[in-house]
Amino acid sequence: MIFRSTLAVRVCALVLASLGVVTAGAAPTFPAGTARPPQASPLSAWIMAPTRVVWTSPTGAAHASHLLGAKPGQALLKDPQPPCVLAPAAKGGAGGGVLLDFGTELSGHVEIITPLAKDKEPPLVRIRFGESVAEAMAELGGEPNAQNDHALRDQTVRLPWLGKTTVGPSGFRFVRIDNVDPLLPVSLSEVRAVLQLRDVPQIGSFRCDDERLNRIWQVGAYTVHLNMQDYLWDGVKRDRLVWIGDMHPEVATINAVFGFNDVVPRSLDLTRDVTPITEWMNGISSYSMWWVLIHEQWWMHHGDRAYLGAQNVYLQALLKKLAALIGPDGRERIDGMRFLDWPSSPNQQGVTAGLQGLLVMTLEAGARLLRELGDESTAAVCTEAAARGRRVVPEVNASKSGAALLVLAGMREARRTAEDVLKVGGPRDLSTFYGYYVLQALARAGETDTALDFISRYWGAMLDLGATTFWEDFDLAWVDNAARIDELVPPGRKDVHGGYGAYCYIGFRHSLCHGWASGPTAWLSETVLGITPLEPGFKRVRIAPQLGRLRWAEGAYPTPLGPVTVRHERQADGTVKSTIAAPAGVTVVRP
């Protein structure tokens, strides 16, 4: 349950039932003599009550159910019902404890409100946030690898007498509270979450006759929305950082759901400004390439010539550097960290194939941007280098990620690649990041039904395990004998959160809300609805739906001039009838 005064607003119908918005008011008045007024935060806050009590300690916890439901958010001299009381940790044993579920993944804080008590001494409590029940119940360290990286999710605090304490921030759905005071009881009038995210309307939409796909679209949209914080993060628990490669599918989702949002240029510019041209963005060569590709993506969607022009100096220098990485023989010579994403890393031949395709795509996109900026000379350097690079098509060694990038670069034939690589084993060997590019490559091959099946089976399996946002990584093999993330792990069942993971996401360090996993949201809007900008700023748009097995699909796609809305229906003879509405100034092109 979510509360905020005044106007209610629908943000994610499936994930969040409703949110409230404070209407715009007059600018605040700052004290006289304030040299520089405080900077306004781009974030808004919503209050959420816990939806259920998942667990209480076997002894020492009374009235835990009184924490559920709407509360005033204010310490009271007289509470209408008894507080939840957690007994002290007497004689070195465990005190009373309670585990609360807020119903969906959040980014923000928890507020703990305490009542009148006999003793004014502040008792000591331990607060544990968790993206899963198991994480909230875990101890720090050990094989499950519960961490306090980036955001303190396991800490002890003292609670005031008749007051309010704020704990956080972190990314979480579950909160465990334990009394660790050896002498004092803990009384809790109210525990509520403070959800923080940008108050922006969802302009884009997607609906079809498959409800599982509809839910996946919404969950992907919400996953990215949570990560639209001061900057565009990769995860709300970990890493809470701007990773440029991760941003590419996130930006595709923002374009499809929210349209323009300044979190994107702010994040692109931040990373540019802290990365000398002699270095790679985030220390990863491919991430500097994604910076170029995101800029073309952003230019085509929004057509902001002034913003593109502000990139000219850095863009020119970066593209000259990238062009020099295509050798005389056409092979890439990328230095530094050779990386696509973590699950692809063991297959170094697959990484080589992917980097070859990614570099060619980047140079060609960069040439188009430079010509728009009037730099024909550097554009020609990029075009010539890309042409050399196209002559070399490395073996992919069964890498779906590497093969997909070569298809998208136009260097491998899509249909044969789908049969020989992408469809082999079904959605096995996908990753939540590069799965987006596999879906795009399948669409190039006309394999819409295969892509829809991959989405339903792979991303849908996370929902089946209780996910409300999509994860940093996922493997379908994890599903076998796995418990849901929203329940205590029963004996004999596998903890899908703490028991898996590799590289930087071992065990509970694994993020269960990662924006790069939102690819199906962008893909369903781009491919099934078939909406693609043909000119910068959406002045011309191609509508070419790929329904596959679906009987109908409808939705909206944001443009700078207003949303394009479509409804596609399969007719008895197999043809597709489309109803299209475009705003003035947008020309629709049909294939």
Least confident residue range of 6-20, 284-298, 459-473 = 6-20
Q: Which residue has the tokens 């220098």?
A: 317
The whole-number pLDDT of residue 89 equals 86
d(CA 452, CA 388): 35
Peptide bond into 239 cis (omega under 30): yes
d(CA 572, CA 340): 44
**Where do the structural domains in the chain lie, given as residue ranges?**
49-197+473-510, 228-466, 536-589
Residue 564 pLDDT > 50: yes
Q: Edge-to-edge strand order for the sheet containing 552-557?
A: 205-208, 552-557, 564-570, 576-581
Over range 548-566, report the average pLDDT. 98
d(CA 92, CA 216): 47
* Crossing angle of helices 244-257 and 285-302, rounded to 10°: 20
**CA 494 vs CA 473, 477, 491: distances in Å:** 17, 11, 8
d(CA 591, CA 575): 14
Least confident residue range of 88-92, 278-282, 299-303, 378-382 = 88-92
d(CA 516, CA 470): 9
Over range 47-52, report the average pLDDT. 98
Q: What's the fold here for domain 49-197+473-510?
A: Jelly Rolls (2.60.120)
Residue 319 pLDDT > 90: yes
Beta strands in 198-299 (DSSP E): 205-208
The whole-number pLDDT of residue 30 equals 64
Q: In this structure, what are the phi and psi dihedrals at residue 555, rounded to the nearest 5 degrees?
A: 170, -175
List pLDDT tens digits, range 71-123. 999 999 999 999 999 999 877 788 999 999 999 999 999 999 999 988 899 99
List pLDDT tens digits, range 122-161. 999 999 999 999 999 999 999 999 999 999 999 999 999 9
How much of the chain, in percent, has pLDDT values that exceed 90? 91
Residue 14 pLDDT > 80: no
Q: What sign does the dihedral 295-301-306-307 (CA atoms) show?
A: negative
Write the single-letter amino acid at 477.
A
The whole-number pLDDT of residue 12 equals 43
Average per-residue pLDDT in the chain?
94
Pairing relationship of beta strands 154-158 and 84-86 according to DSSP bridges: unpaired
Pairing relationship of beta strands 564-570 and 576-581 according to DSSP bridges: antiparallel
Q: What's the fold here for domain 228-466?
A: Glycosyltransferase (1.50.10)
Q: What angle do CA 558, 562, 563 make, to 5 degrees?
A: 45
d(CA 53, CA 65): 7
Q: What's the fold here for domain 536-589?
A: Maltose phosphorylase, domain 3 (2.60.420)
547 close to 553: Cβ distance less than 8 angstroms: yes
Closest CA to 315 of 354, 363, 244: 363
Q: What angle do CA 437, 443, 444 make, to 5 degrees?
A: 90
Q: In this structure, what are the phi and psi dihedrals at residue 69, rounded to the nearest 5 degrees?
A: 90, 175
Closest CA to 506 of 236, 206, 146, 59: 146
Closest CA to 300 of 369, 211, 215: 369
Pairing relationship of beta strands 124-130 and 97-113 according to DSSP bridges: unpaired
d(CA 221, CA 250): 9
List pLDDT tens digits, range 529-553. 999 999 999 999 999 999 999 999 9
Closest CA to 518 of 296, 222, 317: 222
d(CA 167, CA 155): 9
Measured between alpha carbons, how far apart are the two ends of the chain, in Å? 46
The whole-number pLDDT of residue 36 equals 63
d(CA 305, CA 295): 11
Q: Which residue has the tokens 């956080």?
A: 168
pLDDT classification of 555: cutoffs 50, 70, 90? very high
